Amino acid sequence: MNDDNFENSLSAFLRRRPFKSFAVELVSGDRFIVDHPEALALRGAVAVFINPRGEYTLFDATTVSQLTDTTERASA
């Protein structure tokens, strides 16, 4: 994923009103659900996700394979 696409896509998911959870899938195969807009901070082409246990995942455009709406994933 390129930097511009990463920033634009992630920002669009975060700005949805009402907010809807979404999934971030990394090229490593790891996947996590962003279930609250404040669980993720985006600064340029770098983001950090903090889960409810306080564990964090730092990621950028080069490590993301896709962003998906969790409602689409659930209905598949």
DSSP line for the chain: --HHHHHHHHHHHHH-SS---EEEEETTS-EEEE-SGGGEEEETTEEEEE-TTS-EEEEEGGGEEEEEEHHHHHH-
CA angle 49, 53, 39 (to 5 degrees): 30
How high is the pLDDT of residue 75?
42
Enumerate domains of the chain plus CATH numbers. 3-75 (2.30.30.100)
More confident residue, 4 or 47: 47
| pLDDT tens, residue by residue, 31-52 | 999 999 999 999 988 999 999 9
